[in-house]
Amino acid sequence: MKLGVNIDHIATIRQARKTDEPDPVYAATIAELAGADGITIHLRQDRRHIQDRDLELLRQVVKTKLNLEMAITMEMVKVALKHKPDVCTLVPETAAEITTTGGLDVVMYGEKIEEVAGHLRAAGIEVSVFVDPDIEQLKACYKRGIRVIELNTGEYAKNWKSSFRDQELDKMKKAVAFAHKMDFKILAGHGLTYRNVGPIAAMKEIVELNIGHSIIANAAFIGLEKAVVNMKRLIE
């Protein structure tokens, strides 16, 4: 199983002082040397952490795979077409949220998603959609020509210590089984930590996990290289 490391919160620390450190580009280099299979960033419309210049430099530096999370807007399409990340993951985005709170509603926004995905694919960029582990959403993805998905593990992560853990884990298992049957390329992520990642990593149909906050949080104590190495060992 591959590991994509989300480095958004390196930029969050930097933007807290509006200075030039810590540098997300340096973080990406360390993560790759430690065994990360890809680097993920979310260029938000309000630019609260990752900035356009970060994307520009990361495109030049990242040697594995650069995954750009983005809202389904033409502004972001133009940015993606300019910098050509390897993958664009389409995500929901609102100004008030602290972090992404759920999967993209493909049933409701299917037409817009199809339009945005078409522009990106025409430029040779792989398109993934961040979606809840819901069968109807997966059917909508398939209908719109999406074949790469990232399943939202947020509810599982939020409930992993509660009585709802098994219920949320069962939802994930059913979604993974259905997606595998429909021949989706399956990724997963959101809220995963060193303590709760095991049951998700055990689902062999999932080819990659995207993890950010927990790795960066642990890096504050043990260093980014060791934090990436430890997570890589866990999911393998």
Any idea which residues carry the catalytic annotation?
42, 69, 190
> Quick count: other Cβ atoms within 10 Å of Cβ 96?
5
Dihedrals phi, psi of 106, to nearest 5 degrees: -75, -30
CA angle centred on 175, ends 170 and 177, rounded to 5°: 95
Nearby residues of 111 by Cβ (< 8 Å), 6 or more positions away:
none
Dihedrals phi, psi of 95, to nearest 5 degrees: -65, -30
Q: How far is CA 182 from the centre of its chain?
A: 21
For the chain, how big is the Rg over CA atoms in Å? Answer: 17
Q: What is the largest CA-CA distance in the chain?
A: 48
CA angle centred on 87, ends 212 and 62, rounded to 5°: 65
Q: Is 206 exposed, middle or buried (0-12, 13-18, 19+ CB in 10 A)?
A: buried
User: Could you give the CA distance from residue 66 to residue 61 in angstroms, rounded to a whole number?
Assistant: 10
User: Could you give the CA distance from residue 166 to residue 218 in angstroms, rounded to a whole number?
Assistant: 26
SS3 state of residue 143: helix
